[in-house]
Structure 1
Amino acid sequence: MHVVLPNDIDDAAAPSGGNRYDRELCTGLAALGWPVCEHPAQGAWPKPDAGDLAALDELMAGLPRGASVLVDGLVASCAPETVAAHAPRLRLAVLVHMPFGDTDPAARPAESRALLAASAIIATSEWTRRRLSDLYDLPTDRIDVATPGVTPAQPATGSGDVDFGGGAALLCVAVIGPHKGHDVLVEALARLVDLPWTCVCVGALDRDPDFVRTLTARIDALTIGDRLRLAGPRTGADLDALYSAADLLVHPSRGETYGMVAAEALARGIPVLATTAKGLTDAVGRAPDGAVPGLLVPPDDPAALAAALRRWLTDPALRRRLRFAALARRATLTDWTVTARTVAKALRRLSSDQIRHPG
């Protein structure tokens, strides 16, 4: 099995949900007995230059005729001519983490061509499958869904008993950028200075330097910098420690195809305060009794986010109820083995000619 990946997949300084998914998937497929051959695509994806595209063309030309090839959508959607040129001689599947055409109409022709050239499409959420079908008139049964797994973890200890003030430790895990809603979070927290809370924002600071500068200046102007910390990227044991100390994950995103960080928090029994944007509610999900393991608010609404945070910070009974719901939701989450098996099933169909091949 050949897998074409963005070249920064293992860059600890730039962690992302897509990279984590790709790494877990490759590891999981190998554990299931698939011979996985990784091919990092060098380039500034999703904005490749001519040299990047030429290198990708050379990479794919070197793959053996008839080979099964899984291409990350971050690469495929930005290189439709290359994908279409090699589709007749390869068994191509595209792994779509997020449809670029969802937010950028100008990207739709290229993405459509890449997806229509592929023999199989794998989406990482039900929302993504529905959106791809709507955007490109693709039958939903042509799109397999393999939702992200979680790594099993012990329940978080948090900051203390929920009946005696435990609940003030807030955590946000997302690259610092406007699409993740950090500006909304800052404005919401500024309305809560009368209450005890601290918030750690974990995420890369170099993706949108102008936004980070503006955000930092706003934090300083609101004089909440002693309680709100932009901690930069964290992985491994450092990130685990931050999760363990957290009472509530706050994810004010303006749009997620799934929301892996919500699932990661719930895997530790941490309630989630998130927006209703796109596929994020799928990741939050429900406990077996139907309870939502957190609070949901509209995106891009500082007042609604502040109101939900105030409820959380001032209502011990609510915190207790949501903690129980999060622990119950934790028991329903699946690990990465299930994700790998789902993808493997789609790839077996690809390699056994059970689905159409372009050309």
Structure 2
Amino acid sequence: MSAIVFAIPGNIDLPTGGYGYDRRLLREWRQMGVEARHLALPGGFPFPTEADLAATELLLAATAPDDILLVDGLAFGAFPEALAARFADRLVALVHHPLALETGLEAAQAAALRASERAALGHARSVAVTSPATATVLSTEFGVPESRIFVAVPGVDPAPRATGSRGDQPLQLLAVGSLIPRKGYDVLIEALTRIADRDWHLTIAGSPDYAPETAAAIETHIRSAGLADRILLAGAVQPDNLGELYDKADLFAMPSLYEGYGMVLTEALARGLPIVCTLSGAGADALPADAALKVPPGDVAALANALARLIDAPAERRQRADAAWAGAGALPRWHDAARIVARACLGGGSREVG
């Protein structure tokens, strides 16, 4: 029987949504008895060196001939077509979102990634994606037949309801995600600057390591806005500590410009948190309307107004928190996502969950 070899670039233990999804698939497959193993690829993707590509080819070639090669999209989208073609008979892609849609790329970089990802996807026997929106993009813009796409939205674990802050503290806002351009933290900071007369404190949990220039610009923006004592950049936060941040939060904010899904939104929903977010991905679309205020991506005024509305209205915050908690029970679970991706690799069964 074929085994799944899950090829993932870089350090799988990093606290990002993509790596978290990958780790959870491997964990679920172990529990389900699906034969699968992790294959670490060089960390240079999505901008690999020639040495990275040579090492990747050797690693893939060293697998058993009947192994199914599931390749995380951070690497897959940057595969040269010849590399994808060599393993086409057993190659499966896992696409969180197309690499070319990452915010902050130069035009030439985006064009190169779009071309390489489209060519590589042409050699995949099937493609697993983490949202219906990404499925649509791949079929309409990257030429992937719908019949080869499997939709496996991220699962959510049951979690205790957030208790929130104490009444003698400022209202605690929480945002989670790496300090990269796509997350829109500059928009959030500018929005909060406009409502600095309210009593709030923001914690941003996310690594500064993926885009150091962006992280430095965010720090400068906070200082120049006079908000250094009101916005905490907590850095990369491990899962146990992140749970504590969710528990102490009163309101969750996600200002992203684009998301393939947006796992943090359903994680906040699972905690019963009221949410202010942008309409930037399938995760926002999945939120109950009575649990979240949703605004256009990049719209500072709309984001500021939504935040001010819930900061100023404790009763509405409680109503939206109750709606979030009520909706948490209907969230998809990780074993569903793992089954769908296993089917993409090994064949058979439904093509969509969630």
TM-score (norm 2): 0.91
Q: Look up the SS of the partner of 1:43 in the other structure.
A: coil
Aligned residues: 339
Match in the other structure for 1:273: 276
Tell me if structure 2 keeps the 8 A contact 1:56–1:82.
Answer: no
1:145 aligns with 2:145: no
Q: Trace 1:120-199 onto structure 2 (pairs within 5 A).
A: 120-160=126-166, 168-199=171-202
Match in the other structure for 2:30: 30
State which drifts further: 181-190 or 61-70. 61-70
* Shift, 1:251, TM fit: 0.5
CA distance in 2, matches of 1:82, 1:179: 29
Q: Trace 1:197-216 onto structure 2 (pairs within 5 A).
A: 197-216=200-219
Matching residue's letter, 1:210: E
State which drifts further: 79-88 or 37-46. 79-88
Q: Trace 1:303-342 onto structure 2 (pairs within 5 A).
A: 303-342=301-340
* Shift, 1:165, TM fit: 8.4
1:86 aligns with 2:92: no
CA distance in 1, matches of 2:252, 2:28: 27
Closer/same/farther in 2, CA of residues 167 and 275 from structure 1, 3 Å limit: farther
Runs of 4+ in 1 over 6 A off after TM superposition: 164-167
Q: Trace 1:35-50 onto structure 2 (pairs within 5 A).
A: 35-50=35-50
CA distance in 2, matches of 1:293, 1:347: 36
* Shift, 1:137, TM fit: 2.5
RMSD across aligned positions (CA): 1.9
1:251 aligns with 2:254: yes
Q: Look up the SS of the partner of 1:305 in the other structure.
A: helix
Tell me if structure 2 keeps the 8 A contact 1:171–1:199.
Answer: yes
What stretches of structure 1 of length at least 5 have no aligned partner? none
* Shift, 1:159, TM fit: 1.5
Matching residue's letter, 1:9: I
Closer/same/farther in 2, CA of residues 272 and 192 from structure 1, 3 Å limit: same
Matching residue's letter, 1:101: A
State which drifts further: 72-81 or 140-149. 72-81
* Shift, 1:166, TM fit: 8.6
CA distance in 2, matches of 1:177, 1:43: 17
* Shift, 1:314, TM fit: 0.7
CA distance in 1, matches of 2:211, 2:75: 21
Q: Look up the SS of the partner of 1:342 in the other structure.
A: helix
CA distance in 2, matches of 1:212, 1:43: 20
Match in the other structure for 1:101: 100
State which drifts further: 194-203 or 100-109. 100-109
State which drifts further: 292-301 or 241-250. 292-301
What stretches of structure 2 of length at least 5 have no aligned partner? 103-109
* Shift, 1:155, TM fit: 0.5
Tell me if structure 2 keeps the 8 A contact 1:274–1:295.
Answer: yes
Deviations 1:115-140 (A, max 9, x none): 11010100011110001011122222
Tell me if structure 2 keeps the 8 A contact 1:167–1:247.
Answer: no
